[in-house]
Amino acid sequence: MSASPMACLAQAMRQHGLVRFMEHYARTYPDAHLKNLIADDLGPNREMEVDGRRVINFGSDSFLGLDQDRRVQAALIQGVRRWGSHNGTSRFFASVRANEEAEEKLASWLGTEAVLIYPSVTLTNLGALPGLVSKRDLLVIDEHAHNSMQEGAKIAQANGVRVMPFSHCNPADLERVFDQAGEYRSAVVAIDGVYSMTGALPPLAQLNDVCLRRNAVLYVDDAHGTAVLGRKGRGTVYDALGSYDNTLVVGSLSKGFSCFGGFIGCPRDFKMLLKIRSTTFIFGGPVPPAYLEAVCTVCDILNSEEYEEIHGRLTSNLQRLMQGAHALGLVVLGGETPIVSILIGDEDITLQAGRFLFEKGFYVQSVTFPAVPYHAGVLRIQVNANHQPSAIDELLEALAALKQQFTLPAAESKELPFAA
């Protein structure tokens, strides 16, 4: 009997390179793999229980620890009482007042004329990026831009837009691309505000200069900078450029904000244009309104003096980790943001190293190809404001033991797959 259509489909999917790669590691290192991790319980200071073991979670994007903040939680509960669990319609038809309030609060905190909220950053990029450009326009994108922008660019390309990549964080190569592009009606250049796998920050001012000379708008996905970098946590753009005159800035409500969703900060007229042109806004449901109440509470915290205190704890934890990791002679990437990557290199060792730390009581993400280049695996450590300094010290002790156990790249090595 021939295989069923379902079996046939699964078999076809298994031939994809990425599936083969992931299934190989899941088979070879079933214990070391640590993907699809399930936490059974969460405690204070980023404790979590996994497989009956208490570990400290160094894999959370809730950088400020606001997911545990009683005021943020109370706003969510109040939001559910006020609006129910969901408002049950695309915002193209109707919004609740909480949508408008959250967007106004976000715009006033960020310093843009307007903000439009989407259900996630991914859906922002999949909706806004192809929505901004049409057939006679040009979309230029950093070769290492986040997957969601690359996918947004593919949609634009399928719609007939010319899409061209430029070398990672390289203004000279951006010039070259424009030299070769020929004529276009308008152009958008898409980049990350923080490259989250390495912690790299783009040269925003130089890239924006090129954009201005070439009649292009700079589109910055600042998901990892939101609530963490810049004055009041407004991200990378305003401090680097001094205005949003030539920038559309995308931010996350799910990482530093500890709420849910993504947004784009833009001029007022763009808000309406994007509502009309973003398919993910029109054809999908919105962030549940209760989260919008929580977003307003987080905006109040970011605008208050308390933000400095929370951010101070985050910075001090980050410095503690950076100093300790450098002192161990590890190859440390990032450090300007609370994402610190320790270069391991080989995929097998990267997975085993993650497991080694887990056995010692720490969860960090083992990141391998395709999220980073092949043979450039990293341990990605996300520092949070609610980590105890003692937990950072203990993690450093575990990293010292890791270095004894495995052969790791040395900081003085000349041949590293990333610029360290």
Ligand X SMILES: Cc1ncc(COP(=O)(O)O)c(C=O)c1O
- Which residue's CB is nearer to ligand X, number 264 or number 402? 264
Q: Which residues contact 2 (CB under 8 A, 6 or more apart)?
A: none
301 with 310: CB under 8 angstroms? yes
Distance, in Å, from the CA atom of 73 to the CA atom of 41, rounded to the nearest integer, reads 17
User: For ligand X, which is the closer residue by CB, 265 or 409?
Assistant: 265
**Which residue, 56 or 191, has its beta carbon nearer to ligand X?**
191
How far apart are CB 85 and ligand X at their closest, in Å? Answer: 20
Other beta carbons less than 10 A from residue 2's beta carbon: 6
* Beta carbon nearer to ligand X, 178 or 291: 291
Pairing of strands 114-118, 262-266: antiparallel
Q: How far is the CB of 372 from ligand X (least distance, A)?
A: 13
Residue with tokens 């949003």: 244
Q: Which CB sits closer to ligand X, 254 or 352? A: 254
Q: How far is the CB of 61 from ligand X (least distance, A)?
A: 7
Work out how close the CB of 64 gets to ligand X at its nearest, in angstroms, rounded to a whole number.
Answer: 16
Crossing angle of the two packed helices 347-359 and 17-28, in degrees rounded to 10: 40
Instruction: Give the count of beta carbons closer than 10 Å to the beta carbon of residue 188.
Output: 22
Q: How far apart, in whole angstroms, are the C-alpha atoms of residue 273 and residue 253?
A: 22
**Nearer to ligand X among residue 125 and residue 297 (C-beta):** 125
Distance between CA atoms of 132 and 124, rounded to whole angstroms? 12
Smallest distance from ligand X to CB 323, Å: 26
Q: Which is nearer to ligand X, 198 or 352 (CB)?
A: 198
Query: What is the nearest approach in angstroms of ligand X to the Cβ of residue 255?
Result: 7
Rounded least distance, CB 319 to ligand X, Å? 23
Instruction: Output 145 or 402, the one with its CB closest to ligand X.
Output: 145
Strands 114-118 and 138-142: unpaired
CB of 392 to ligand X, least distance (A): 22
Query: Percent helix, strand and coil across the chain, each rounded to 5?
Result: 45, 15, 40
Smaller CB separation from ligand X, 178 or 257: 257
**Which residues of the shown chain bind ligand X in the complex (CB under 6 A)?**
120-122, 146, 148, 192, 196, 221, 223-224, 252, 254, 262
Distances (CA, A) of 227 to 230, 236, 382, 399: 8, 10, 15, 29
Parallel, antiparallel or unpaired: strands 247-252 and 216-221: parallel
- Across 111-214, the runs of DSSP E, i.e. the strands, are 114-118, 138-142, 162-166, 187-192
Three-state SS for 246?
A: coil
Alpha carbon distances (Å) from 132 to 126, 152, 247, 337? 11, 11, 13, 29
Any residues with CB less than 8 A from the CB of 75 and at least 6 apart, and which?
290, 293, 294, 296, 297
Tokens of 29: 């290192």
Q: What's the min distance (Å) between Cβ of 27 and ligand X?
A: 27
Residue whose CB is less far from ligand X, 312 or 370: 370
CA dihedral angle for residue 368, residue 372, residue 375, residue 381, rounded to 10 degrees: -60
Minimum CB–partner distance for residue 228 and ligand X (Å)? 12
Residues forming beta bridges with residue 382, ordered by sequence position? 339
